[in-house]
């Protein structure tokens, strides 16, 4: 089976082209190949294929084999893959994901014909349990919602970008014991389908820093949908403007929340790392 390794802001996945390859058990394959000691090493597996809706489809599997609805960084990589591997010549692509159709806009270098940046319309931010099954339906919303974690009270703002995010604002995220705290929030009873968790340190009105604990993968260098959720949560709680740069361990992402139309846009680059074959 041929594959490509790609990364966007350090969020690395293994990409398989279903127009050429067949994957019978993607969950098991993701677990095996994602292992950084005995496999290829990645945050998970991305399958690129045909779609009855939109232009192409994307399925994502976390490193533990669980299937996720959406990954903004992976969607940007898919856009680059589709264009540079010759599957499409279009620079506007409708990508069918587990959380619906996402519109990709590619910026292409006129000299090299390589994709420099990709903007993803991530759709609307979901704040209400009425519209999301990702947290307890008894709660209409969670904004600065107090939760006791490891004997300490923290405030969580929940935002779904088609996948669940618990955003926590705090000081000094570098000293955070994320390997200890992350799993406690991921598996908290408030989140029946588990949750991604973003730990956010505000720099100023247009800049914030982020560490992320992704459900099924642990701490990763970046999370595109998590960056989107964090800017929405920060603007919603009056901490930042609705347009901000998010500094992650793997790089910087640009996020804009159009509050009037509730549309969130994620912009950043994407890169091929290597390609290979595996039995």
| Active site residues per annotation | 71, 223
Between CA 243 and CA 65 the distance in angstroms is 34
> Which pairs count as long-range contacts for 109-115, CB under 8 Å and 24+ apart, including other chains?
114/84, 115/79, 115/80, 115/83, 115/84, 115/270
Please check whether residue 179 is in contact with residue 188, taking contact to mean a CB–CB distance below 8 angstroms. no
- CB count within 10 Å of CB 183 equals 15
Between CA 162 and CA 39 the distance in angstroms is 29
Q: Are strands 263-268 and 115-123 parallel, antiparallel or unpaired?
A: antiparallel
- Kindly calculate the radius of gyration of the chain based on its CA atoms and give it in whole angstroms: 18
Q: Which tokens belong to 84?
A: 């540079």
């Amino acid at each position: 089976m041929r594959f490509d390794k790609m990364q966007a802001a350090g969020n690395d996945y293994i990409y398989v082209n279903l127009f050429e390859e067949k994957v019978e058990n993607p969950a098991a394959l993701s677990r095996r190949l994602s292992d950084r000691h005995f496999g290829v090493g990645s945050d998970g597996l991305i399958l690129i294929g045909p779609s009855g809706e939109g232009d192409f489809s994307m399925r994502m599997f976390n490193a533990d084999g669980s299937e996720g609805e959406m990954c903004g960084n992976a969607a940007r990589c898919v856009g680059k893959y589709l264009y540079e591997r010759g599957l499409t010549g279009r620079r506007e692509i409708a990508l069918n994901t587990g959380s619906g159709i996402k519109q990709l806009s590619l910026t292409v270098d006129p000299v090299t014909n390589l994709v420099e940046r990709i903007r993803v319309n991530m759709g609307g931010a979901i704040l209400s349990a009425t519209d999301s099954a990702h947290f307890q339906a008894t709660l209409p919303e969670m904004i600065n919602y107090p939760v006791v974690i490891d004997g300490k009270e923290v405030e969580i703002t929940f935002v779904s970008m088609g996948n669940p995010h618990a955003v926590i604002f705090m000081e000094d995220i570098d000293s955070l014991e994320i390997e200890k705290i992350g799993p406690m929030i991921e598996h908290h009873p408030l989140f029946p389908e588990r949750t991604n968790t973003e730990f956010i340190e505000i720099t100023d009105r247009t800049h914030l820093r982020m560490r992320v604990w992704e459900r099924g993968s642990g701490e990763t260098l970046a999370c595109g949908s998590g960056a989107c959720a964090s800017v929405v949560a920060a603007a919603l709680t009056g901490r930042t403007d609705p347009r901000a740069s998010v500094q992650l361990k793997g790089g910087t992402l640009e996020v804009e929340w159009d509050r009037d139309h509730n549309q969130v846009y994620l912009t950043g680059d994407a890169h091929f790392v290597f390609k290979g074959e595996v039995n």
